[in-house]
Amino acid sequence: MSEIMQFLETTFKPMVLVFTVANLFAMGLQVNMPRLIQALKNKKGMALIFVWGWVLGPALAYLIITAIPLAEPYVIVMLLSSVAPAAPFFPLMVEKARGDMNFAGAFYPLVVVGAVVFIPLFGPLVIKELTVSPWALAQPLFLTLLLPMAIGIAARHYAETAATKIFPAVNVIAKIVTLVMLSQCFVIYARPMLDTVGSFALLSGTVFMVVMALLAYLVGFGLKQNQRSVMSLGMLQRNLAAILIAAFAIPNVDPRIITFTIMWGLWSAVLSLIAARIFAKHAGETVAGNTT
């Protein structure tokens, strides 16, 4: 049993990298470049993404860690996560919510770029012991998040026929890798996650996600229902794959950072499923009533 556990722990980091690359490449293959450009011209939507993602998010995280007593590793995860909206499973949840896929296609590349930029800038401010440079922190994020998605987008734009043919296989691989990675999370981190009981870590993450989701959906400033659902799901989720990759770059990283990141990621998937079902129901009512 110890040998199996050792194998799972040894392969966990590579599996996170494969999980991230596979999902981001699959996302890129679904992005239609002309529609992406058109969606990026939606100034109101793009402004809201910036305000919710990189102004309100960090402000809310700061308020939470001020109001709720948390150990430093959990504070680090809260603050880093606050500048990294949307998880790799974001497109799947948007589909379940019957959200605007064109808007999602612009939303996700934008927040991935934001995560690659803001996490390295934010990291040295919130991690006192951080000895790596912002560029050293940005490199793995660029290689595992931005580059696979950019390659997928380029493949869809310049070789659409080939991209369409390979997408089903890439999508299946991404889902299999996701299941394997999640299984490893449960096996490796089940006990450490139980040890966080009483730390207020999960409570803090839950408050953050629920408040972000509600504000993004209810305060849409004229966005359509299927666009507000995209915004809400993206702001509910945090790109915890990006946080893990950044954490792996930190020498002698506190294991509680990894544990809380994993726990938050699993819980956000559950909350996203619940939210997607609610949004899908409202999407049906919107279509039936022909309202926004």
Show me where the domains of the chain are located: 2-284
Higher pLDDT, 18 or 292: 18
In this prediction, residue 75 carries a pLDDT of: 93
Query: pLDDT by residue (tens digit) across 73-112?
Result: 999 999 999 999 999 889 889 999 999 988 898 899 999 9
How confident is residue 129, by pLDDT bands cut at 50, 70 and 90? low
pTM value is 0.89
Which two structure tokens, joined as six digits, stand for 55?
């102004």
Which range has the worst mean pLDDT, 1-15, 84-98, 200-214, 223-237? 1-15
Query: pLDDT band at residue 291, thresholds of 50, 70 and 90?
Result: very low
- The more confident residue out of 84 and 42 is 84
CA distance 53 to 133: 24
88's enclosing H/E stretch is: none
Q: Say which residue the tokens 């991690």 belong to.
A: 127
177-208 per-position pLDDT tens digit: 988 988 898 889 888 998 888 899 999 999 99
Give domain 2-284's CATH number out of 1.10.645.10, 3.50.50.60, 3.40.190.80, 1.20.1530.20.
1.20.1530.20
Q: Name the β-bridge partners of 238.
A: 85
The answer to whether the beta carbons of residues 267 and 202 sit under 8 Å apart is: yes
